[in-house]
Amino acid sequence: MQNVTELCRYSQKKIIAVVKSDAYGIGVEYIAPLLQGLPQVEAFAVASAEEGVSLREMGIKKEIIILGGILREEVEAIKSYKLTPVVSDREHLELLKGKNVKFHVKYDTGMGRLGFTEDILIRDHRITGIMSHLSTPADREFSLYQIKKFENIVKKYKGSFKIHIESSAGIIYKVPYTTHTRIGLALYGEKPLRNYPINIKPVLELKARVISVKEIPPKHPISYGRTYTAPCKMRIGIVAFGYGDGLIKSLSNRGYLFFEGEKLPIVGNITMDMTIVDLKNSPVCVGDWITVVGPEQSFGDLARCAGTIPYEIMCNISQRVKRKII
Ligand SMILES: *Cc1c(COP(=O)(O)O)cnc(C)c1O
């Protein structure tokens, strides 16, 4: 994975690879073994103990950090599968009392989600990491405020810890006192910011087959709700990919699919299993492959079109979409 090399070269730090939510919908069973083979990836991060257990069961031996809190019923699995939970609440400390479990501590420096808001020093020999999270990496002023606040907390800890606050977007701050970055999106080739200074390369493609090509007469409506009506005689293609596969419905009459580099507008409502595109003069035939995400269009482009973020579109790609490593 060339993106790992680029990200490490930029930050000069090792990576904690974030593979939560099935590696952002890509398929963690394909992604995690690839990442595990790279020396620059020192640990993995997932949301829950359950996700951590499935990583262990697929043979992941490196450290697995559980970002999403600790529940009573997860403590046994955390211990027996040697997972590293993050303590972000007094209750988590209670749950780990007397247990031989290494953990990281999380501070809320402005994210307003998990973590201690007071900069209390927790004295516990089991602590191996200290972390925080940026809420608005695109906002330089606020991010620098969070980074400063985190620095003042980190200073109080004596010893050797994994210290991490930078995500895919946050990496641009090159925080001098952290030891690791905590990267998800950028590993998968999606840029988290418009002017991203790191040369990451797209690695994902999403394709679907054309199952019908036809001509429709003027005034003929297209799809449920008749939200589009053919202004003139037109050629349309029915693509076997709908919101049941992850193409969110808000791309109806807004988004594009591609055929050999040519932009094909989505016409009418996206349905569960099918999407209709205006073929114009494109020489598309039944059985052809249409690009949903590829060189012509990233998840970020689709997200902008739909008024959301690439993370949401990626996590929506459903299980029936077959995954393949090339
Ligand atoms: C998801 C997540 C990340 C990774 O964010 P990216 O923008 O995908 O790099 C890092 N830290 C925490 C706490 C997260 O929840």
Q: Domains along the chain? A: 2-188 (3.20.20.10), 206-315 (2.40.37.10)
Instruction: Bin 60: left if φ > 0, else alpha if -120 < ψ < 50, else beta.
Output: beta
Q: Do residues 208 and 245 touch, judged by C-beta distance below 8 A?
A: yes
Q: Does the CB atom of residue 192 touch ligand 1 within 6 A?
A: yes
Please enumerate in sequence order all residues whose Cβ is within 8 A of that of 302, keeping only pairs 6 or more positions apart, or say none. Answer: 251, 255, 292, 293, 310, 313
In single-letter form, the type of residue at position 185 comes to: L
In sequence order, which ranges of 101-202 are alpha helices (DSSP H)? 140-154
Given this model, what pLDDT does residue 86 score?
Answer: 98
> In the annotation, is 173 catalytic?
no
Distance CA 120, CA 87 (A): 13
Distance from the alpha carbon of residue 273 to the mean position of ligand 1, in angstroms:
31
Tokens of 277: 């595109």
Cα of 97 vs centre of ligand 1, distance in Å, is 28
Q: How far is the CA of 167 from the centre of ligand 1 (A)?
A: 5
* 118-127 residue pLDDT tens: 988 999 999 9
Q: Which of 99, 219, 224, 233 is catalytic?
A: 224
Is residue 207 packed enough to be buried (19+ CB in 10 Å), middle (13-18) or exposed (0-12)?
Answer: middle
Distance CA 8, CA 31 (A): 18
Looking at residue 119, its pLDDT comes to 85
Atom of ligand 1 nearest to the CA of 168: 9
Contact 92 CB / ligand 1 (< 6 Å)? no
| Cα 182 to ligand 1 centroid, rounded to whole Å | 6
Question: Which of 67, 105, 172 maximizes ligand 1 atoms within 8 Å of its Cβ, making it the mutation to test the pocket?
Answer: 67
Work out the number of other CB atoms within 10 angstroms of the CB of residue 105. 24
CA of 93 to the centre of ligand 1 (A): 23
Active site residue 14: no
Check pocket membership of 306 for ligand 1, CB cut-off 6 A. no
Any atom of ligand 1 within 6 Å of the Cβ of 67:
yes
7 within ligand 1 shell (Cβ under 6 A): no
- pTM strictly above 0.85: yes
Residues of the chain with pLDDT under 50: none
Helices and strands (DSSP H and E) totals, the chain: 9, 16
User: What is the reported pLDDT for 73?
Assistant: 97
Closest C-alpha to 135, from 155, 149, 156: 149
Residue 183 contacts residue 7 (beta carbons within 8 Å) = yes
List 20, 106, 162, 191, catalytic entry: 20
Sheet containing strand 234-239, edge to edge, reads 262-265, 256-259, 289-293, 206-216, 234-239, 275-278
CA 139 to centroid of chain Cα atoms:
20
Give the contacts of 135 (CB within 8 A, at least 6 positions apart): 110, 111, 112, 142, 146
- From CA 57, how far away is CA 241, in angstroms rounded? 32
Residue of minimum CA distance from atom 13 in ligand 1: 133
pLDDT for position 1? 78
Q: Considering only CA atoms, which of 54, 185, 271 is closest in space to residue 66?
A: 54
Nearest to 104 by CA among 81, 83, 120, 119: 83
Length of the chain: 326
Contacts of 4 (CB under 8 A, 6+ apart): 15, 35, 38, 40, 41, 187
Which residue type does 229 have?
A: T
Q: Is 110 in the pocket of ligand 1 (CB under 6 A)?
A: no
Reading the block at residue 55, the tokens are 């990583």
pLDDT digits (tens, 9 = 90+) for 190-222: 999 989 999 999 999 999 999 999 999 999 999
